[in-house]
């Protein structure tokens, strides 16, 4: 291991000991963790310290950006992580100290990864004080020379080098744990690290965020549901976007001041989610309150930065920070829709059948035990009145059961379920009596019927027919290539058959030589024991018989 990795390991060891992470390890359930817990306790930083209730949260924050983000990611994986640890991980915040504005300017002006021009050339005004700072990047406000207000997002300097280096270490730790700890293998820790690595590297490349923003903006052009800001310019480390001003979805008192219908606003948010998932198959997968805003009119009592909107129409949502987006295959879309409908209909037999057909549970899994656990744990929750049901709670219970039964859920689907939980949580905060079930059920039923509609499938076939007909022009060529391949394969098979026959003949000849040599050796030895003066001659002949076989 590199010297830098060793130094980093020592630092991580110190932090783990400082916050007594050994007291958070379930060594009773996973005895393999006992050596790790013992190692943490031996560090001087752990001496004299007791269990800290939020030790995992504080430790991950001190370990740096990569581990903080890893904690945030794992906070969504209730299928893998026990509830008592989830309770700590969900507290992780994405607010950090901003970096120096001069460094931000240098990043923007960088000829390769920045915009390649001076700040004065790019902007009529650039605000040195950042509007917001996060673990990956920070945001400054500015104005273009034509008067348009913009925001400039800048990736933190040198963060890529630090994260790549930490990932090398994290992969080594994951491989070590997977080779020695059954619990690590059960949760596919190496796959988690690789998935997380890809997510993090995507977040570091702002051109990907720009592409995602443009695609989502095109999906909602002219929509009364949501507005997505325009992207003006983007490079690997810098993105310049239209400044859209409103208030976060969490500022409920502002909506009350404005007289907004919060029930309608909450339902609109859910409609946006299901539209993204089933109509566009491109959904925002990081919908925490900091990324979900609502348009507001210019009211004196409100923040001066709020943008004017037409009071004659219902306010739209504003889509921000499209770094993490999700897509599903057509099969996965159907699986999700059918599974959600089955949960809504309290049909756990169907749920287990769906996840089994999807290959999410091991072949030797006890399906009846899985179904019984779901009925016993989730069933009572579904007996409540529809307005009292915590849909996110139902999903969390199902994921906890999935973890206990070693269910393997694809990362993209976990991303979707996490987003659904976020959306419902935001909706219920906005309007506590929100009924996600009655809103979602007709949408899902309608979408499934549409997917299975024979006329729709015939129409799709008709649309694809020209392409299919064009592809038939390649049939003669493909047939000729196939025949040539068969002929070549036939000649190869003939050649292989001749080689096999030759090998068989050689083996038979070798066997005959073995028997001849052995017979000669035995005969000459037998004769040598019976004759007197001529015995050396026959011993010599016996030796020559062996030599002949060796050289033959």
Report pLDDT digits (tens) over 346-378: 788 888 888 888 888 887 888 888 888 888 877
| Strands of the 292-295 sheet, one edge to the other | 226-227, 317-319, 292-295, 246-248
User: Shortest CA distance to 195 belongs to which of 105, 283, 69?
Assistant: 69
> Which two structure tokens, joined as six digits, stand for 21?
């992470």
pLDDT per position as a tens digit, 289-347 = 667 899 887 543 333 333 444 444 578 999 888 888 888 888 888 888 888 788 777 78
Which H or E run includes 333? Answer: helix 330-344
For residue 373, indicate whether it is catalytic.
no
Domain spans, the chain: 1-93, 95-243, 249-452, 475-551
Report the percentage of the chain scoring pLDDT > 70.
Answer: 74
pTM: 0.67
Query: Can you tell me whether residue 132 is helix, strand or coil?
Result: strand
* Residue range 209-238: mean pLDDT, rounded: 94
* Residue range 461-479: mean pLDDT, rounded: 63
- Catalytic pick from 22, 205, 286, 321? 286
* Residue range 54-74: mean pLDDT, rounded: 79
Is pLDDT above 90 for 80? no
Alpha-carbon distances of 202 from 76, 198, 207, 324, 365, rounded to whole Å: 19, 6, 9, 8, 35
Report the distance separating Cα 333 and Cα 282, nearest Å. Answer: 11
Alpha-carbon distances of 69 from 93, 101, 104, 161, 173, rounded to whole Å: 9, 24, 22, 16, 17
DSSP state of 79: T
441 — pLDDT class (breaks 50, 70, 90)? confident
Which H or E run includes 126? Answer: strand 125-126
Least trusted range by pLDDT, from 213-222, 273-282, 303-312, 386-395: 303-312
């Amino acid at each position: 291991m590199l010297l830098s990795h060793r130094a980093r390991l020592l630092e991580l060891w110190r932090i783990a000991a400082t916050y007594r992470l050994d007291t958070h390890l379930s060594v009773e359930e996973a005895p393999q963790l006992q050596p790790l817990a013992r190692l943490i306790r031996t560090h001087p930083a752990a001496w004299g310290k007791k269990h800290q209730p939020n030790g995992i949260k504080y430790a991950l924050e001190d370990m740096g950006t990569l581990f903080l983000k890893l904690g945030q990611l794992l906070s969504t994986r209730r299928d893998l992580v026990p509830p008592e640890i989830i309770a700590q991980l969900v507290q992780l915040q994405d607010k950090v100290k901003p970096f120096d504005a001069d460094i931000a300017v240098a990043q923007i002006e960088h000829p390769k990864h920045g915009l390649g021009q001076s700040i004065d050339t790019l902007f009529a005004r650039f605000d040195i004080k950042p509007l917001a700072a996060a673990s990956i990047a920070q945001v400054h406000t500015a104005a273009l020379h034509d008067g348009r207000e913009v925001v400039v997002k800048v990736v933190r300097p040198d963060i890529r080098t630090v994260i790549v280096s930490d990932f090398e270490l994290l992969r080594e730790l994951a491989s070590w744990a997977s080779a020695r700890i059954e619990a690590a293998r059960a949760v596919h820790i190496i796959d988690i690290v690789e998935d997380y690595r890809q997510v993090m590297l995507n977040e570091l490349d702002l051109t990907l965020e720009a592409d995602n923003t443009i695609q989502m903006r095109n999906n909602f052009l002219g929509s009364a549901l949501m507005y997505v800001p325009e992207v003006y310019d983007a490079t690997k480390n810098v993105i310049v976007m239209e400044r859209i001003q409103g208030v976060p979805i969490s500022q409920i008192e502002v909506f009350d001041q404005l007289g907004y219908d919060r029930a309608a606003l909450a339902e609109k948010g859910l409609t946006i989610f299901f539209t993204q998932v089933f109509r566009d198959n491109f959904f925002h997968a990081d919908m925490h309150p900091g990324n979900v805003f609502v348009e507001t009119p210019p009211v004196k009592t409100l923040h001066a930065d709020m943008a004017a909107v037409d009071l004659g129409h219902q306010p739209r949502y504003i889509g921000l920070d499209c770094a993490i987006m999700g897509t599903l295959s057509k099969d996965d879309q159907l699986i999700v829709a059918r599974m959600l409908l089955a949960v809504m209909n309290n049909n756990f037999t169907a749920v287990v059948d769906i996840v089994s057909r999807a290959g999410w549970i091991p072949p030797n899994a006890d399906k009846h035990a899985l179904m019984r656990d779901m009925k016993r744990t989730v069933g009572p929750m579904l007996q409540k009145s529809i307005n009292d049901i915590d849909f996110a709670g139902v999903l969390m219970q199902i994921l906890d059961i999935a973890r206990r039964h070693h269910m393997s859920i694809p990362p993209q689907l976990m991303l979707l379920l996490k987003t659904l939980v976020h959306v419902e949580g935001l909706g219920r905060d906005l309007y506590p009596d929100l009924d996600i079930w009655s809103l979602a059920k007709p949408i899902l039923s309608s979408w499934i019927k549409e997917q299975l509609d024979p006329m729709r499938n015939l129409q799709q076939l008709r649309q694809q027919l020209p392409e299919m007909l064009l592809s038939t022009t390649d049939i003669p060529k493909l047939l000729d290539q196939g025949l040539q391949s068969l002929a070549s394969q036939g000649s190869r098979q003939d050649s292989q058959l001749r080689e096999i026959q030759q090998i068989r003949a050689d083996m038979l000849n070798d066997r005959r030589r073995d028997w001849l040599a052995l017979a000669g050796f035995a005969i000459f030895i037998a004769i040598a024991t019976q004759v007197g003066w001529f015995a050396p001659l026959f011993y010599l002949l016996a030796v020559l018989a062996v030599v002949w076989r060796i050289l033959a």
